[in-house]
Homo-oligomer: A and B are copies of this chain.
């Protein structure tokens, strides 16, 4: 059985990735790594190790012992807003931890295929008429998180092109789905709107809801990641996105409609970021045409599933 190392197994995406494997009866010998405690996981042959990926010697030892065929590197501090407050932590826990992994693979001379997850934030501010964003655009990162991701991507390209490592890269656009932490924007909207419905207090506090983003259901994301990890071309970058842009305000309206409420939207200046990209919409042609991937979840369905999940999670009645 092929061996798969997953970093960041306590995170939102890893959970769905493992569910995807189970549902599709795809078998790997999995070793999960995270800095926090082990999650319950009923995937057969799943092992877990708690580790700080900043510890280069330790990660190298783990890789040397496990000798993975594949690495799905999901560990990251992936919040843009947190990166403004903690730029060094964001940099180290994106760029440096990734460098520790690929350097271990280089030193050990393994032929492991590695998925390096990047971000749509790497593109920076492009005007509307440049949408959708294509993989060959120049990168103009303008927040600490995206600087860290661009650095990671440059290292990926270097290690693939010059040291012969089998690295494939993504630029992943916003993903959403049930179980997403409500520090992220859409689950936060859902939570507030559900609360508004229950309490009758229709006020919800938001940041800049005029910005346009490209949201992809996490279940479509993990299917894309598996395809890219197994079949993607070495040294290449794939946008992982829906291809559709939507204003955050529109999403609030869609959720409110499903809940049959009319919220009062207040803009909280503390939630405005120093430099927000106004519009981010991706082009997924490469992923679709090269790897025969198609998203399967509509935005309406995803939001419905997120509402259902939070209703259960917070014990609300329908």
Residue positions of A touching B, CB distance < 8 A: 56, 84, 87-88, 91-92, 95-96, 99-100, 103, 106, 138, 141-144, 147, 150-151, 154-155, 158, 161-162, 274-275
Question: Is the pair B99, A88 in contact by a Cβ cutoff of 8 Å?
Answer: yes
A147 partner, pick from B56, B103, B155, beta carbons under 8 A? B155
Task: Decide: A99 near B103, CB < 8 A? Known: A151-B151, A274-B162, A275-B162.
Answer: no
Residue of B nearest to A107 (CB): B88
Q: Closest CB-CB distance, A284 to chain B, in whole Å? A: 24
Asked whether, in the complex, the Cβ of A158 is within 8 Å of the Cβ of B144, the reply is yes
Distance A274 CA – B161 CA, assembled complex (angstroms): 10
27 chain-A/chain-B pairs, Cβ below 8 angstroms: A56-B88, A84-B162, A87-B158, A88-B99, A88-B100, A88-B103, A91-B96, A91-B99, A91-B155, A95-B95, A96-B96, A138-B138, A141-B154, A141-B158, A142-B158, A142-B161, A143-B158, A144-B158, A147-B151, A147-B154, A147-B155, A150-B151, A150-B154, A151-B151, A151-B154, A161-B275, A162-B275
Report how many copies the assembly holds. Answer: 2
Distance in angstroms between the alpha carbons of A274 and B275 in the assembled complex:
38
Please give, as numbers and ranges, the residues of chain B lying within 8 Å of A92 by CB-CB distance.
96
Which has the most chain B C-beta neighbours within 10 Å: A151, A161, A274? A151
A91–B152 Cα gap in the complex (Å)?
Answer: 11
A95 nearest CB neighbor, chain B only = B151
Closest to A92 in B: B96
Residues of B within 8 A of A84 (CB): 162
CA distance A305 to B161 in the complex (A): 40
Specify which chain B residues have a CB less than 8 angstroms from the CB of A96 in the assembled complex: 91-92, 96
Docked CA distance A45–B278 (Å): 51
* A99 contact set on B, CB distance < 8 A: 87-88, 91
Q: A88-B99, A150-B154 are in contact. List 15 more A-B contacts (CB 8 A).
A: A56-B88, A87-B99, A87-B158, A88-B103, A91-B96, A91-B99, A92-B96, A95-B95, A141-B154, A141-B158, A142-B158, A142-B161, A147-B155, A161-B275, A162-B275
Q: How distant is A242 from chain B, measured CB to nearest CB, in Å?
A: 28
In the complex, what residue of chain B is closest to A87 when comparing beta carbons?
B103
* For the complex of A and B, 7 pairs with smallest distance between CB atoms: A151-B151, A147-B154, A162-B274, A138-B138, A88-B103, A147-B158, A147-B155
Which residues of B are found within 8 Å of A274, using beta-carbon distances? 162
Closest to A150 in B: B154
Q: Which residues of B contact A155 (CB under 8 A)?
A: 91, 147
Minimal beta-carbon separation of A38 from chain B (angstroms) = 29
